[in-house]
Amino acid sequence: MSVDASAIGNHEFDFGPSFLTPYFAGRKDGSDILAANLRSETGQQEFMTDQKNLKLYTLECGIKIGVIGLSTK
């Protein structure tokens, strides 16, 4: 089973941004990281400049599904 998208949760911050940045850069699956409201400690979005808010999928039957990723950090 492959992963098309993943969301950042609270426990991804247990080891801080210095752990997260190389972790996300080293992903080999090409999936998107969804983080609609993730900001750095200074309130800017520079922590993850390539973050996506929404991933859209269309099932074989034509039904469209939208997936969002939100974090409380």
Whether the per-residue pLDDT at 60 is higher than 70: the answer is yes
pLDDT tens digits, residue range 1-57? 577 777 777 777 788 777 777 777 777 777 777 777 776 677 665 566 666 778 888
Longest dimension (CA), the chain: 44
- How far apart, in whole angstroms, are the C-alpha atoms of residue 9 and residue 43? 18
pTM over 0.75: no
- How far apart, in whole angstroms, are the C-alpha atoms of residue 27 and residue 30? 7
- How far CA 45 is from CA of 1, 39, 49, in Å, comes to 31, 5, 6
pLDDT of res. 48: 63
Domain ranges of the chain: 5-68
pLDDT of res. 63: 96
Ranges of H-type helices in 1-73: 17-25
